[in-house]
Chain A
Amino acid sequence: LKPRGRSGSIVKVEQIGDRLEEVLDRSAYVNINADWVNAKGAWLIHVVLICVGKLIIDTIPGMTQQVSWTLVNLIYLALTYLMFHWVTGIPFENDLHGGAYDDLTLWEQIDDGAQYTPAKKWLLGVPIALFLASTHYTNYNPWLFAVNISALVFVLIPKLPQLHRRRVRFIHDYASGVATPVTP
C-alpha cells in the first residue's frame, strides 16, 4: 500500500544547487559563452540592433508610431528574455565543461554569478531606457501602455539578484524537480 504522493503546488520556486563536481568542472576552463557580454562592442550592439529594427519596422506600410514602438519594445524584450533567461546550457565548447552548465541560464553564467556587475547593469538599463524613450516619443493609448509596461516588468523580474538560480515552476508533478537526478 503506497502512500499518496504530495500534491504539487500551483506555483513553486526552487533553487538550483551545486555539487562539488559541478563547481570543479565549471572552474576548469574559461566560459566563452558567458564572457562575450564583457567584450568590445557587445554593449553597443544592443543600441545598433534596436535602431536598425526600428528603421525596418517603420518601413512596413501602414505602421503608426505607437505600434512601431510597441513592436520594437516587445520584440527586443522577447529576444533578450529568450537568450538570457530561458535557454539553459552552453552552445559552444560544451566538451570542456562536460555539462556543468546545463542547468544555468546565460544570465546566471555571466561573471560567475556575481551580481551588479557592469554587464548586468547595462543589460538591465537598456530595456528601461528603451521603454522610457518610447513613452517620450509617442503618446500610447492606455492599452498599449499597459502591454509595454507589463512586458518590461516581466523581463526585469528574472534579472533581480533575489531570483538568481531560482526557477518558478507552474503545476509540476514530481517531488524533486531538478532536471537531472543528483546522487548524494
Chain B
Amino acid sequence: MSSTTESLNALLASLGQAFDKIPGSAVLVRYVKSSHQNDPGRTVLEVILIIFAIFTLLQSRTRGNDGRHFIKFEDKEIDELVDEWTPEPLAAPLNAFEASDLAAVPIIVGHNGPKPTLARQPTKMIANLASYNFTGLAGKEVIKERAIETLRKYGLGSCGPPGFYGTLDVHMTLERDIADFLGTEAAIIYSQGFSTISSVIPAFCKRGDIIVADRGVNFTIQKGIQISRSTVRWYDHNDLKSLEDVLDSVEKERKKRRGPLTRRFIITEGIFEKDGAMIDLPKLIELKYRKKYRLILDESISFGTVGRTGRGLTELYNVPATKVDILIGSMANGLCAAGGFCAGSQHVIDHQQINGPSFVYSASMPALLAVSASEGIDILRSSPSILTKLQQNIRVARTILDELDCISVPSHPASPIIHLHIRKPTPTLLHPSSAVSAGHSLKPSNPTSVLPREAVNWDWDTDAEERALQQVVEEALRRGVMITRAKRLRGQEMVEARPSIKLALTSELSTDEVKKAVKVVAQALKDVLRK
C-alpha cells in the first residue's frame, strides 16, 4: 500500500517539476491563486463555467434551419443520380382527354360576333353563347372607327408601365370616365383583367391583416390572397349568416389573443364567376359597417351587365358606390375592351399607383383599347335599352333551362352567365344523409378550412362529367349553337369547381334567336345526358 502511494507521490512531483519548466506557468499559478481567493465553492462554479465555455467553443458549426432539407449523398449516389437524369420535354405530351379537348376548340373565320362562321362548318352559326359579349359592344362600328383613329394617332403599344412614360391622356380620360360612371372619387386602370384583383389585394392586405373571403371566389382572388400573406378565414358560399358567424369568431379570437387591432377585409364577388350566384349587397354593406370591416368587391362579371345602365350591383341595388371601399371591375368582360379597373376613394387609388404590383411592373394598355372602353361607357350611359334587352334574353333563356330536369342551374336569375351542372338523381328523402345534402349543413363550418363542411359529400366524377359536357358542347355545335364548358385549372384551385357549361348571354341576339338557340342547347342536353 505504501509503495503505491510513494510511487504516486513521485509521479506528482515529477509532473510538478515538468510543469514549472513550462514558460508562463508561474503567471498561471499566480492568477489561479488570486482568483481562488480561498473559496473552493466559487472556484468549482467558475471551473464549470470555463469547461462549458471551452466545450461550446470546440463544437463545430451546424447547418441553418436545423438542416431540415439537407440530405447527405455519397459520391456514388450522386454519380447514380446524375447518370439516370433525363431532361423533361419543354412541352409535356398531352393525355388523351387534353388532346381531344384541344382538337375540339372551334376555329372562327373572320371576326367574332353573335353569329360567327366556323372553319369546320361553313354554314353560319345560329348563335354564339360562349363569348363574353354581354352588351354587344364587341362589334359596334362606332367603337371600331374610334379605335382605328386612335391607332393611327398613337400607334399600337404604350411602351412602358404606367409610372414610367406609359400613361397617355386617353388612360387618364378613361379613369375619369369610369369614376364618373360609377360615382366614385377616382379610378385606376390595370392592363390585364386577370391581374387586377390579384394586384389590388396584396397592395392593401399584408401579413398580419385579416381577410374574410367567400369559399367560392375565383382563381385570381385566391392567388391574390395567397400572395398577400394575410390571415384568411373562409365563410360559406354566398351565405351572409355564415359570414356574420365568421366575423364574430375572428373578433373573439383577437380578444383572446389580446392582439392589436389590425386591418380587416371582406373579399367577395358581385356575381361569382364560378357559378353565377349574386350577393345581397345592401345587407353585406350593413354588416361591414356594423363589424367595421373594409369591403373588396370584385365586379368582374357584374360591371357592364346589371343595373339600369350597366353600372353594376351598386346601381341594381341602388347603393352609392362610395359605400364599397374597393370596387374592382373588368373592362375585358363588361366593356369588351381590355384590362380591369379599381374604383374607390382618392386615397385608395393613390396608394395603388405606387403599391399595386401590376400597375407598377406591367405595361399599360394600348391607347386604342382605352378609347374603346371609354366609347363603351358612353354607349352604355346613353342607351339603357341594351341592358333591358339583355335582361329579357336572360329571362327567356332561364325559362327554358329551368324546365329541364337533367341539369341544375346554380346561377342567379339576373346573372348574364348561366352555369349548368349535371343534376344527380336525387336520393330518396327517407335517407338520413339527404338532410345534410339538401344544402343546409347542421354544424357551422370551420373558418380556417377552405373546404366547406359539405365537401365530404362531394362525390361527382370530374372526368366523366367533363366528358359528358364536352359531348353536349359538340352536339350543340353540330346543330349550330356555339357553347363552351367552363374551363378550369384542375389541380391549382383551392377548391375544385364542379364541371359545368357556361352560357354567356348577349343583347345582340333577338329574343327569338335566343329562344331558338337555348332550345337547341336544351335538346342537346336532353339527348346526351339521357343516354
A102-B207, A116-B60 known; A131 and B49 CB under 8 Å?
A: yes
- A93 interface residue (CB < 8 Å to B): no
Which among B45, B62, B66, B257 is the interface contact of A149 at CB below 8 angstroms? B45
A-facing mask of B268-295, CB < 8 A → 1, else 0? 0000000000000000000000000000
A-facing mask of B34-67, CB < 8 A → 1, else 0? 1101000010011001101100110111111110
A98 & B49 in contact (Cβ 8 Å cutoff) = no
A173 & B61 in contact (Cβ 8 Å cutoff) = no
B208 & A180 in contact (Cβ 8 Å cutoff) = yes
The distance from the CB of B241 to the nearest CB of chain A, in whole angstroms, is 19
A124-B56, A139-B37 known; A174 and B257 CB under 8 Å?
A: yes
Interface size class of B (residues with CB under 8 A): 20 to 34
Interface pairs (8), CB distance under 8 Å:
A18-B65, A112-B65, A121-B57, A132-B49, A135-B42, A145-B42, A180-B207, A180-B231
B448 & A183 in contact (Cβ 8 Å cutoff) = yes
Report chain A residues within 8 Å CB of B53.
124-125, 128-129
A113-B65, A114-B64, A132-B46 known; A184 and B56 CB under 8 Å?
A: no
- A14 interface residue (CB < 8 Å to B): no
B448 & A184 in contact (Cβ 8 Å cutoff) = yes
The distance from the CB of B33 to the nearest CB of chain A, in whole angstroms, is 11
Query: Interface on chain B toward A: helix, strand, loop, or mixed SS?
Result: helix
- A65 interface residue (CB < 8 Å to B): no
The distance from the CB of A117 to the nearest CB of chain B, in whole angstroms, is 5
A125-B53, A139-B37, A183-B448 known; A114 and B62 CB under 8 Å?
A: yes
A124-B53, A132-B50 known; A161 and B42 CB under 8 Å?
A: no
- B229 interface residue (CB < 8 Å to A): yes
B256 & A184 in contact (Cβ 8 Å cutoff) = no
B-facing mask of A53-77, CB < 8 A → 1, else 0? 0000000000000000000000000
B-facing mask of A95-132, CB < 8 A → 1, else 0? 00011101000000001111111000100110011011
Interface size class of A (residues with CB under 8 A): 35 or more
Report chain B residues within 8 Å CB of A124.
53, 56
- A10 interface residue (CB < 8 Å to B): no
B66 & A113 in contact (Cβ 8 Å cutoff) = yes
B207 & A98 in contact (Cβ 8 Å cutoff) = yes
B206 & A116 in contact (Cβ 8 Å cutoff) = no
- B232 interface residue (CB < 8 Å to A): yes
The distance from the CB of B249 to the nearest CB of chain A, in whole angstroms, is 11
Rounded to whole angstroms, the CA-CA distance of A182 and B207 in the bound complex is 10
Which among A115, A181, A184 is the interface contact of B253 at CB below 8 angstroms? A181
- B510 interface residue (CB < 8 Å to A): no
Rounded to whole angstroms, the CA-CA distance of A161 and B243 in the bound complex is 44
A136-B35, A183-B231 known; A114 and B206 CB under 8 Å?
A: no
B232 & A183 in contact (Cβ 8 Å cutoff) = yes
Rounded to whole angstroms, the CA-CA distance of A131 and B448 in the bound complex is 50
- 7 new A-B pairs (CB below 8 Å) besides A145-B42, A179-B257, A180-B208? A23-B65, A115-B61, A115-B62, A121-B56, A135-B35, A183-B448, A184-B449
The distance from the CB of B237 to the nearest CB of chain A, in whole angstroms, is 18
- A25 interface residue (CB < 8 Å to B): yes
- B31 interface residue (CB < 8 Å to A): yes
